[in-house]
């Protein structure tokens, strides 16, 4: 992952992770396994030669823009130039690894799409004081087949991590509805842990919400199953109930193709054929 931090402390170091949050600092230094060379505050080079990424680096995620809680960066602000994004994308693709870009801001989104990333996380089109979608960028996303990780899973009640974002998030949801109509591949995501309304396990609420954005029930289900598996490069064994696929299942008391909200009443979780948890009707 290419992430944030105190760059004055890592000048001229070859590292795996730069920028995004101090919580990544403990994972930054990997002697003998360089990815990015930082000089001052800019990327001076990207080097994956001699250290081809293995299974422990299946994807590269880069912070094209700041996040809602990113120290020192607004979500509308780009953290990398287009040339820097291009350098990372070329290097990852040369080794057969996809790149997904955390991108809230308009310019960061446009730059990430222009350099050929494989996925966009959030795709918010945030400006300094609002939301302004750029539909030319969306058209380019559709043409390239870029996956959009739409982090639309929320508990129905509770406080936002940043209260001023409530109106922006509502506008973003309306934009996702239009993106779907225009052919964008929306993957239902949760951003779990990012705030009190996004605990782990909140994803079913996102699938239900997708049904309100104009997706059919089948499309909403696919956004968190078969399409999600495709986005993660796992479509050959996950995301479907089919012979030979991993038995990763949940059990619910109704047919979600008829009623998506039955996903909010999970009765069992099965991972690789093993039942990890079962709930009785009385437990809820």
Which pTM was predicted?
0.82
pLDDT tens figures, 171-219: 999 999 999 999 999 999 999 988 889 999 999 999 999 999 999 999 9
pLDDT tens figures, 16-48: 333 333 323 323 333 333 355 555 455 555 555
Token pair 């979600």 is found at: 256
* Domain regions of the chain by residue span: 7-242
How far apart CA 234 and CA 182 sit, in angstroms, is: 25
The pLDDT of residue 88 is: 87
In CATH, the architecture of 7-242 is: Alpha-Beta Barrel (3.20)
- Cα end-to-end span (Å), the chain: 38
How far apart CA 240 and CA 20 sit, in angstroms, is: 34
How far apart CA 282 and CA 284 sit, in angstroms, is: 5
Q: What percent of the chain has pLDDT over 70?
A: 79
DSSP state of 78: B
């Amino acid at each position: 992952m290419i992430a944030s931090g105190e760059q004055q402390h890592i000048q001229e170091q070859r590292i795996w992770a730069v920028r995004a949050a101090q919580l990544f600092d403990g994972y930054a230094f990997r002697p003998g396994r360089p990815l990015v060379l930082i000089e001052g505050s800019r990327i001076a080079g990207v080097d994956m030669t001699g250290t081809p990424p293995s299974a422990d680096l299946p994807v590269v995620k880069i912070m094209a823009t700041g996040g809602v809680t990113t120290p020192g960066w607004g979500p509308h602000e780009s953290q990398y130039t287009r040339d820097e994004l291009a350098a990372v994308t070329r290097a990852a693709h040369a080794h057969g690894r996809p790149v997904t870009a955390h991108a809230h801001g308009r310019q960061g989104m446009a730059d990430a799409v222009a350099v050929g990333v494989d996925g966009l996380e959030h795709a918010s089109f945030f400006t300094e004081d609002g939301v302004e979608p750029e539909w030319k960028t969306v058209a380019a996303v559709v043409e390239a087949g870029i996956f959009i990780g739409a982090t639309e899973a929320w508990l129905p009640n509770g406080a936002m991590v940043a209260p001023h974002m409530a109106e922006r998030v509502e506008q973003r949801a309306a934009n996702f509805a239009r993106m779907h109509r225009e052919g964008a591949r929306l993957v239902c995501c949760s951003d779990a842990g990012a705030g009190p309304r996004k605990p782990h396990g909140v994803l079913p609420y996102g699938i239900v919400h997708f049904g309100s954005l104009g997706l059919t029930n089948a499309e909403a289900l696919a956004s968190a199953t078969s399409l999600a598996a495709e986005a993660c490069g796992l479509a050959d064994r996950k995301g479907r109930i089919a012979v030979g696929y991993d038995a990763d299942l949940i059990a619910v008391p109704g047919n979600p193709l008829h009623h998506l909200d039955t996903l909010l009443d999970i009765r069992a979780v099965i991972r690789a054929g093993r039942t990890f948890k079962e709930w009785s009707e009385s437990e809820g």
